[in-house]
Amino acid sequence: MSETKKYKKVAYYPGCALEGTAHAYNRSTKALGKELGLELDEVDNWNCCGAMEVKNIDPKIQTYLSSRVMSIAANDMGHDVVMAPCNGCYHNLKKAEYDLSHDEKSKQVVEKLSAKAGHETYKAGQIETIHALDWIKDAIGEEGLKERVKKSLSGMKIANYYGCMYTRPRHIFPEKDQGPGSESTTQPHFMDDLLEAAGAENVDFPLKTACCGGAHTLSDSDTSTKLVLNIIEAAEASGAEVIATECPTCHSGLEMHQIRAEKVLGRKTNVKIVYFTQLLGLAMGLSPRKVGIQENISDSIGLLKEKGLT
């Protein structure tokens, strides 16, 4: 079977959301990795990266939090790649990497805090941060997936939703927008590529990188509901039956405000919200239970039965 040598064994940074509300994403990521023969080595005693919140207190604390995670993975565990399935974690680690190589002050703060906290200081360039999408894309690739498909996703119409933090701001993702083969920050396609390889039909969805208002999902719920409803209705208008997600925050934001839109605004929508790792897992022949379909709030089991994926 075709495969590359890349990313066979990587450090795994699940983040808090995957241990809480997004348990299904954690479960399906691990199950998929196992099925594909990829090894995930969880970062020892990790800490939260600070999500979207700590940076609002002070961005340098966020840089420190992310640097500690990278320091453990690189210095204590000897990894040179860390994979984060959460857009927030992925973004923050990338941002820390950028700041530590471009901003002297951030570097000083991280050095000082690391020394006080009693661990080795992370230095820019020690580790490469990748998203779960990069992981599957580079370790297995489309050809590799095609060869392994047991239950094709054929006939399933999918809108791929990437959210904000996977592509913005573009300067923290120097490897993107590098021409053919690389990811695009304006028209991302890695998830589209993978799901298509598993047989799905990707619809032409214009809001791939629209914002769901996740930062204010509770503090300004009406705005979030408006933004989510716009995304969901656009997906339905594009003919999608499923919105595929690659981030726990985007995923739970869509699920939560889909319900809120129904209850508060009386706008009911039917599109199902499913993690891309769950969809790929199903295509590889894993059972819905194995990939945690029942843990999603958005109930997709009927649709999956209809498509012969159960």
The set of residues, in sequence order, having a beta carbon less than 8 Å from that of 219 and lying 6+ positions away, is: none
- Cα 3 to chain centroid distance, Å, stands at 22
| In the complex, minimum distance from the CB of residue 106 to another protein, in angstroms, rounded to a whole number | 11
* Residue 210 binds another protein (CB under 8 A): yes
Stretch near another protein under the rule CB under 8 A, chosen from 29-37, 61-69, 122-130, 197-205: 61-69
* Residue 51 binds another protein (CB under 8 A): yes
Binding site for ligand SF4 (CB under 6 A): 15-17, 48-49, 51, 86-89, 163-165, 211-212, 214-215, 247, 249-250, 253
Which one, 141 or 214, has the nearer CB to another protein? Answer: 214
Which one, 79 or 260, has the nearer CB to another protein? Answer: 260
- Could you identify the residue written with the tokens 């809108």? 159
Name 202's bridge partners: 158
* Residue 227 binds another protein (CB under 8 A): yes
The CA-based angle 281-134-245, given to 5 degrees, is: 55
Cβ contact 53:299 at 8 Å: no
- Count of helices and strands (H, E) across the chain: 13, 8
* One-character DSSP codes across 175-194: TSS-STTS--SSS--HHHHH
Which one, 12 or 140, has the nearer CB to ligand SF4? Answer: 12
* Residue 203 binds another protein (CB under 8 A): no
Q: Which helix (H) or strand (E) holds 40?
A: strand 39-42
Q: Which of 4, 20, 143, 147 binds another protein (CB under 8 A)?
A: 20
Which one, 146 or 226, has the nearer CB to ligand SF4? Answer: 226
With CB under 5 to 8 Å by kind, the binding choice for 136 among another protein, ligand SF4, none is: none
> Strands 201-202, 242-245: parallel, antiparallel or unpaired by DSSP?
unpaired
Read off the DSSP letter of residue 271: -
Q: Which of 84, 113, 194, 284 binds another protein (CB under 8 A)?
A: 113
Question: Which residue type occupies 131?
Answer: H
Q: What strand order describes the sheet that includes 157-161?
A: 201-202, 157-161, 242-245, 272-275
With CB under 5 to 8 Å by kind, the binding choice for 176 among another protein, ligand SF4, none is: none
Give the Å distances, CA to CA, from 139 to 86, 91, 264.
18, 21, 44
Stretch near another protein under the rule CB under 8 A, chosen from 16-24, 30-38, 238-246, 273-281: 16-24
With CB under 5 to 8 Å by kind, the binding choice for 88 among another protein, ligand SF4, none is: ligand SF4
Cβ contact 255:212 at 8 Å: no
Q: Which helix (H) or strand (E) holds 243?
A: strand 242-245
With CB under 5 to 8 Å by kind, the binding choice for 73 among another protein, ligand SF4, none is: none
Cβ contact 114:14 at 8 Å: no
* Residue 291 binds another protein (CB under 8 A): no
The token pair at 229 is: 């409803």
With CB under 5 to 8 Å by kind, the binding choice for 89 among another protein, ligand SF4, none is: ligand SF4
Query: Which residues of this chain interact with another protein, rule CB under 8 A?
Result: 16-17, 19-21, 23, 45-48, 50-61, 64-65, 68, 109, 112-113, 116-118, 164-165, 167-171, 185, 210-211, 213-216, 218-220, 223-224, 226-227, 255-256, 259-260, 262-264, 293-297, 299
